[in-house]
Structure 1
């Protein structure tokens, strides 16, 4: 789990959902959409980490990332199991989110080991913050699962430690990493906003339609402000400007 300086708990009280709310087809579709987006994100994350492990400069780095990849795939399987419990096809549920998530990864392909680590440390953490905010809006069993799979599998602290060592060893890399971090936050926020706006089922989960569940538009904007602030704190923890 990220430390207190970078964690992003939801500060606003929203009307709690119960498991009985899953009988509401609109709410149920929203929960399914959230799980589908998360599942596909975990699947892509698994392959990304495997690729990073393959390009790691030292055997110890390969081993560390291989362990992280195992955890990511376990998260994927747990999300798929929950989708099956809800009576839906996981592959069909993930499909609407594939283009947006794949596009994000394509647009921020790292060109070096350090850029790959920054993508893990900053880029992936922004997505995690977004989904953690969403977890406040679902039923308790789903919320517990989402919070579990969003726990840091070790990749964030590993990336932070390696980036810190690199910056200390060669101060010239700091500027390049700061620029890369700014690009990551811009692309990640755009992708999160697109996913929230373009998928009707997820939009219905996030936006309060007068029922008292979900965010009003002002709170939704503050959500993205909180995510940006958390990114700034992460960058400052490396001694970089966001």
Structure 2
């Protein structure tokens, strides 16, 4: 499909890899702050799954003659800035971030996967598969907010902030990498297609917030 396409795919896999590595770090840290052993075990399992995804991406990049550490480097700042600006201040904020933030990222990569060759599509879809935090987060947040309107309102605002920060991050990552940007523009058709993509992300975000009882 051409050198530019391959370069874009390598960028995509590298961005995914750093996202998975960051998710592992965050979930492992959140697990230690869990108020129950059940919560701690649940997040630890999710963190382990993220590291499994990372290893898959590391192997795929190696097959393409790319070193994961080198290829991830251009994405470090954007991801770290996002995580710093959205550092949760409570257990429930951590759960909402994992549920909403990771869900938005997964939606973004699933959309892009539709424009890829079959093998790369399969890899991308496999590593953005739900690690199990969705059902757990829904149960925990719904139960906590059932009789606490103040917490519900606070988490609803938190969810909206996460959406804005995540969209900004996605736009920044794409804009800073020419090959990745071209991959997205070609796949979506044009700038209108990109706008449609982000509307889909927002719509899916709204549905997730509804499932948490925060819409």
TM-score (normalizing by structure 1): 0.86
Gaps of 5+ in 1: 1-20
Instruction: After the TM superposition, list the runs of 4 or more consecutive aligned residues in structure 1 that deviate by more than 3 angstroms.
Output: none
Q: Is 1:240 the counterpart of 2:214 in the alignment?
A: yes
How far apart are the structure 2 equivalents of 1:116 and 1:214?
32
The structure 2 residue matched to 1:96, chosen from 74, 81, 84, is 74
Q: C-alpha offsets along residues 98-144 of structure 1, whole Å, 9 cap, x if unaligned? A: 11011000000000001111101112211111111111122211110
Q: Which deviates more from structure 2 when the two are superposed, residues 128-137 or residues 74-83?
A: 128-137
Higher relative contact order (CA 8 A, sep 6+): 1
Q: How many residues align?
A: 215
> For 2:10, what is the secondary structure of its paired residue?
helix
| 8 Å contact kept, 2:61–2:68 | yes
The structure 1 residue matched to 2:92, chosen from 109, 114, 117, is 114
RMSD: 1.1
Q: C-alpha offsets along residues 53-78 of structure 1, whole Å, 9 cap, x if unaligned? A: 00000011111111111110000000
How far apart are the structure 1 equivalents of 2:11 and 2:150?
43
How far apart are the structure 2 equivalents of 1:88 and 1:121?
31
TM-score (normalizing by structure 2): 0.97
1:214 Cα deviation after fit: 4.4
Gaps of 5+ in 2: none
